[in-house]
Structure 1
Amino acid sequence: MRALVLGGTGQTGTLVARGLGERGVAVRTASRSAQAGDHAVFDWERGETHEAALRDVEAVFLVAPATAGDPAQVMVPFIERAVSMGVRSFVLLSSSAIEEGTPGMGAVHAALRARAPGWTVLRPSWFMQNFFQPRHHLAQGLARNGQMLTATGQGRVGLIDVADIAAVAVETLLAPVNQAPVLTGPEALSYDEVAAILSEVTGRRLEHRAVSVDEARASMMSAGIPEAYASLLAGMEASIARGSEDRTTDSVLRITGRRPRSFREVASRITKTRDAGLAQSGHQGE
């Protein structure tokens, strides 16, 4: 079996490719730049790159193009081509906030149900790694002044580890469930609780400041997020404040056979790894 992992150099795709390889699956990664190994140069907007990426492939991990206004316009034709070339299993990385049939990714979800022989749409909650990625506006705020500003209020989120998402992706690429499981961690946390855990784990005083939707949007824009996307994210934060993400599911356990990792566990692991790397760099530089 050969699987194509789109976004194969991203944080989720890298873990999916590694997990498939550990299960004895031949993996072809794909991205816009050339890489070593079985790798396809792939561009959603350039249909001529699609056939080579799909050749001799039986399963595809789908990640939406980052720049497309409507991902369905390029993803649905790709899915149709993939089916015609013999792909039997698809896994789409979507979001817990996106319902089937809604514009964009919801339309891709509907197309998979209608056209794919075997399919799974992963609907993860918000990523735990957002608080640690240097380019993410929340991580930037924490690094700059020890604060993260959101419009989430006291709303809770079932934050999930990217590694748990990847583990579900691997299992469902091998055995499609023809469902759209919502993926969460083991507990729903408010951003105040997230800040408290991060403070304990890092030894720094870190805070969450609840602000209005307008203030949250302005903060995101000051971090370089385009206005339209900042408006979307701020609106999603307001939805969290109203309780839209205050839930946990058993999907990770049911599909992978192991419990999802807690935020404290993931934060401790990332912090220890980062501190060890900094210590090693300091030692090597002496």
Structure 2
Amino acid sequence: MEKILITGSTGNNGKAILKNFSGTNIPVRAMLRDISKAPIKADNISYVEGDYEDKNSLLEALKGIESAFLVTAFEPSFPEKHAAFIHAAEQAGIKHIVQLSGLGADTSSPIDIAKWLGEAENHLIHSTLDWTILQPASFNSNFFASADEIAQQDTISGPYGSEPGATIVTVDHQDVGDVAAKILIEPAEHTGKKYILTGPEQLTYTDTADILSEALGRKISYLPISDETARLALLNAGVPERATDALAQLWPVTREWGHTIELSDHVEKILGRKPTSLKTFFDNESSQFNLREV
């Protein structure tokens, strides 16, 4: 009988956790909206359909579960979806939730995303459940959004100021997945703790372009663009206006305060190894940033 539930199993974080359990003797249940999109096939992984807006589906997904990983997309409904899951988990008798939050979570923040994260954290902290909260930095895989531009134009554009651009700290999805899996297996020692998850380095956007240049064997340059240009690009890509506005709030903050983000040793302390560097990520994923043959 499965005792662990993974939500968001078609997303990068969910898949990273499932990768840890695949082929082991630990039975795991994964929740998703469409079972036909199950990402990993393994004898010890079962799938169940669930929707944050359908309480009965959540209760069914949580039946018999002791610990769960909770993640939803960063959008205006983020706090409400977390609250719905947490309330269902209380009703189902769940013991422990590992929640994916983010850096800067704060209900009093003027930044929408930070406020959403803070509200979601508070729903869990003030529940009757044991909890662990993960606060990751920006994900390495966010660079996939620039893959076509990099492949076609040899640039990484962003509203992060003139060269060398803002300083950023990132973390690898697999590191986050590895941390979450370890906590889900042995949650007791992590109860009531918040972990900040970062990679091993602070980098400017020019540093990032140089690392990618080395991985691809050709020159990639950082291209500064205005906030309005970046905003229009998101809207043209189909990102909803409310989400676009929330992301746009982060750009001036990153330009002014990005260099103040401190590195954390929590990944290394929990996993017993160094976190994945951006260079390793780009080396492993270099094919994603090259032109594809049609």
TM normalised by structure 2 equals 0.84
Q: Choose from 240, 255, 264 the match for 2:270.
A: 255
Residue type at the aligned position of 1:28: R
Change (3 A) 1:236 1:22: farther
Asked if residue 28 in structure 1 is aligned to residue 29 in structure 2, the reply is yes
Look up the SS of the partner of 2:126 in the other structure.
helix
Change (3 A) 1:108 1:116: farther
Change (3 A) 1:7 1:230: same
* Equivalence for 2:182: 171
* Equivalence for 1:9: 10
Q: Choose from 136, 140, 148 the match for 1:124.
A: 136
Asked if residue 57 in structure 1 is aligned to residue 102 in structure 2, the reply is no
Asked if residue 71 in structure 1 is aligned to residue 86 in structure 2, the reply is no
Q: Choose from 92, 103, 108 the match for 2:99.
A: 92
Rounded to whole Å, the distance in 1 between the matches of 2:23 and 2:275 is: 20
The 5 Å alignment of 1:1-286 reads 2-21=3-22, 24-35=25-36, 38-65=46-73, 69-99=76-106, 103-131=115-143, 133=144, 136=145, 138-153=146-161, 154-173=165-184, 174-175=186-187, 176-244=190-258, 246-271=261-286
Look up the SS of the partner of 2:64 in the other structure.
coil
Rounded to whole Å, the distance in 1 between the matches of 2:281 and 2:268 is: 17
Asked if the contact 2:132/2:194 (under 8 Å) is kept, the reply is yes
Asked if the contact 2:148/2:289 (under 8 Å) is kept, the reply is no
Change (3 A) 1:254 1:101: farther
Unaligned runs of 5+ in 1: none
Rounded to whole Å, the distance in 1 between the matches of 2:197 and 2:108 is: 19
Look up the SS of the partner of 1:243 in the other structure.
helix
Task: Give the superposition deviation at 1:273.
Answer: 8.9
Rounded to whole Å, the distance in 2 between the matches of 1:16 and 1:124 is: 15
Rounded to whole Å, the distance in 1 between the matches of 2:274 and 2:128 is: 29
Task: Give the superposition deviation at 1:23.
Answer: 6.0
Rounded to whole Å, the distance in 2 between the matches of 1:211 and 1:272 is: 26
Rounded to whole Å, the distance in 1 between the matches of 2:98 and 2:180 is: 7
The percentage of aligned residue pairs carrying the same residue is 26
Residue type at the aligned position of 1:220: L
- Indicate the RMSD between aligned Cα atoms, in angstroms: 2.5
TM normalised by structure 1 equals 0.86
Count of aligned pairs between the two proteins: 273
Asked if the contact 1:130/1:139 (under 8 Å) is kept, the reply is no
Change (3 A) 1:29 1:90: same
Look up the SS of the partner of 1:164 in the other structure.
helix
Rounded to whole Å, the distance in 2 between the matches of 1:32 and 1:159 is: 29
Rounded to whole Å, the distance in 2 between the matches of 1:123 and 1:147 is: 29
Asked if the contact 2:132/2:192 (under 8 Å) is kept, the reply is yes
